Amino acid sequence: RRSRAPLLLVMAGLAATAASFQPGASWLMIGRPRAVLAPPAVHEEGVNDGAKDWFHMDAGTATFGALSELNIRLTGPADLARSYLLGDEKKKTDSVERLLKAARPMGAEVKREMQRRCPKKVGKQRYSLNLPSLRLLGLGTVQASVSVWGAIRKRGGPQAGGGAFMEIGSDSGPEVTLTVKGMGDMSMSRMKLDLRGALGVDEGQDHEPRIVGWLKLEIRGQVPSFGGISPPQAVLRPAAREALRRTLGFTTNRLGQDLARDFVKWAKGRC
């Protein structure tokens, strides 16, 4: 029971870091262990308030998530933007790994995983995103890793007219370990994070290429109990909504800045 007590706090805070296929989500911007308090319920300028969100509780399990749209302007020709996002089959460039490394959280590591069976059929490139340590005030230190994947699809993209796009997601997890001084390591595998997204290149009426699409983050896990009593929905719902609102809002803004800068650097390297 003790290992479940901090779970919702970790779900709201750690998930923010994890989804950073970044995630992006250097949502907490952690370079070294730091203290994280419960998310305050106040408005913050610059956060995407248009994100759709949801919250459900059933038999002691909470499921909450949000979806946010992406619209990232790139400086350069549309063909170059497509090569950046989708890669080049002739040159066998790996745009999925490039995007993950450009958008990873500060201090996080991206490592290519071994291909599973039938890789050609699935078309997914899998990576392990090892996140920086996160110190929860009064509880201990959390270490986590997330298995994420990316795949280039030939049709059905989020841009006008569909077409080729990059699909991203998470396989399972995250694998979370809470280290408490004097008590050792405790697994927190009861939490599940599901990241999904789609990114395509759209020219638009101004003929300036943009990376457009969406990111969806959903977290499911055991509701924490204190002395056998769980917090009511009236407390959990606004806390979860605020955490995800800030998470996805900051993530989309940060992701846009990171990819725009990385595109300029990448384009110069091709000249």
Q: Read off the CATH number of the domain in which 191 is found.
A: 3.30.530
Q: Say which residue, 75 or 8, is predicted with more confidence.
A: 75
Is the pLDDT at 119 greater than 70? The verdict is no
The CA dihedral of 239, 241, 243, 249, to the nearest 10 degrees, is -160
- What's the token pair of residue 6? 């901090």
pLDDT in tens, 24-42: 332 222 223 333 222 232 2
For the chain, how big is the Rg over CA atoms in Å?
19
Judge contact between 132 and 31, C-beta under 8 A. yes
Partners of residue 141 on adjacent β-strands: 135, 179
Chain mean position to CA 124: 17
User: What distance in Å separates the CA atoms of residue 140 and residue 185, rounded to the nearest whole number?
Assistant: 10
Residue 44: what pLDDT? 28
Burial class (CB in 10 A: 0-12, 13-18, 19+), 3: middle
Judge contact between 174 and 221, C-beta under 8 A. no
Task: With 0.85 as the threshold, say if the pTM is over it.
Answer: no
pLDDT in tens, 168-207: 988 766 777 777 776 677 666 566 778 889 999 998 777 8
Residue 226 DSSP code: B
Residue 46: what pLDDT? 29
Q: At what angle do helices 233-270 and 78-86 cross, to 10 degrees?
A: 120
Domain limits for position 166: 2-270
Q: At what angle do helices 78-86 and 95-103 cross, to 10 degrees?
A: 90
Rounded to 5 degrees, φ, ψ at 54 are -150, 160
Model confidence band, residue 165 (pLDDT cutoffs 50, 70, 90) = very high
Under 8 Å CB-to-CB from 76, ≥6 apart: which residues?
A: 209, 263, 264, 267
| Number of domains present in the structure of the chain | 1
Model confidence band, residue 86 (pLDDT cutoffs 50, 70, 90) = very high
Judge contact between 141 and 156, C-beta under 8 A. no
Residue 123: what pLDDT? 67
CB atoms under 10 Å from CB of 213, counted, come to 23
Q: Is the peptide bond before 158 cis (omega within 30 degrees of 0)?
A: no
117-121, 169-173, 240-244: the lowest-pLDDT one = 117-121
pLDDT in tens, 134-155: 776 666 777 777 888 899 999 9
Under 8 Å CB-to-CB from 24, ≥6 apart: which residues?
A: 103, 105, 215, 251, 252, 254, 255, 258
User: What distance in Å separates the CA atoms of residue 221 and residue 238, rounded to the nearest whole number?
Assistant: 17
CA distance between the termini of the chain:
58
Q: Say which residue, 119 or 84, is predicted with more confidence.
A: 84
